[in-house]
Amino acid sequence: MLRRPRRNRRSAAIRGLVTETHLTPHHLVQPIFLLDGKKIREEVSSLPGTYRLSIDQVLPEVEACLNLGITSFIMFPAVPDDRKNKTGTYGYHADNFYLKAATEIKKRFPECCLISDVAMDPYSSDGHDGLVSGGRILNDETLPILGKMSIAQAEAGFDILGPSDMMDGRIGYMRETLDEKGFTETGIMAYTAKYASAFYGPFRDALDSAPREDEDIPKDKKTYQMNPANQREALIEAELDTAEGADFLMVKPALNYLDVIALLKQNSELPIAAYHVSGECAMLLAASRNGWLDYEKAMPETLLSIHRAGADVIITYFARDYAEMYRKGRI
Q: How far out from the chain centre does Cα 72 lie?
A: 11
3-state secondary structure 275-291: EECHHHHHHHHHHHHCC
Distances (CA, A) of 265 to 135, 243, 248, 258: 37, 16, 11, 11
The pLDDT of 41-60, averaged and rounded, is 96
Distances (CA, A) of 321 to 30, 38, 50, 138, 297: 10, 25, 11, 40, 12
Q: So where are the chain's domains?
A: 22-327
DSSP lists the bridge partners of residue 272 as 249
Q: Per-residue confidence at 190, pLDDT binned at 50, 70, 90?
A: very high
Q: Does residue 194 carry a catalytic annotation?
A: yes
Q: What is the pLDDT of residue 254?
A: 98
The pLDDT of 112-124, averaged and rounded, is 96
Q: Confirm or deny that 237 is annotated as ligand binding.
A: yes
Is there a contact between 323 and 275 (Cβ–Cβ < 8 Å)? no
pLDDT digit string, tens, across residues 209-245: 677 776 678 888 999 999 999 999 999 999 999 999 9
Q: What is the pLDDT of residue 204?
A: 85
DSSP state of 271: -
Alpha helices (runs of H) in 91-169, residue ranges in sequence order: 97-108, 143-156
Q: What is the pLDDT of residue 323?
A: 98
pLDDT at 65 over 70: yes
Q: What is the pLDDT of residue 284?
A: 98
pLDDT at 296 over 80: yes
Catalytic residue among 84, 194, 221, 265: 194
pLDDT digit string, tens, across residues 119-163: 999 999 998 999 999 889 999 999 999 999 999 999 999 999 999
Burial zone of 212 (CB within 10 Å; 0-12 exposed, 13-18 middle, 19+ buried): middle
Q: What is the pLDDT of residue 293?
A: 98
Look at residues 258, 288, 287 and name the one whose alpha carbon lies nearest to residue 275.
258
Catalytic residue among 84, 221, 252, 265: 252
Q: What is the mean pLDDT of the chain?
A: 95
CATH number for 22-327 (one of 3.40.50.720, 3.90.1170.50, 3.40.50.150, 3.20.20.70): it is 3.20.20.70
Q: Per-residue confidence at 168, pLDDT binned at 50, 70, 90?
A: very high
The Cα–Cα gap between 289 and 112 comes to 32
Q: What is the pLDDT of residue 180?
A: 98
pLDDT at 208 over 80: no
Q: What angle do CA 10, 16, 21 make, to 5 degrees?
A: 120
Q: How far out from the chain centre does Cα 180 lie?
A: 26
Is there a contact between 197 and 253 (Cβ–Cβ < 8 Å)? yes
Is there a contact between 271 and 262 (Cβ–Cβ < 8 Å)? no
pLDDT at 275 over 80: yes
The Cα–Cα gap between 124 and 129 comes to 8
Q: What is the pLDDT of residue 215?
A: 65
Distances (CA, A) of 228 to 234, 260, 268, 304: 11, 10, 21, 23
Q: What is the pLDDT of residue 244?
A: 98
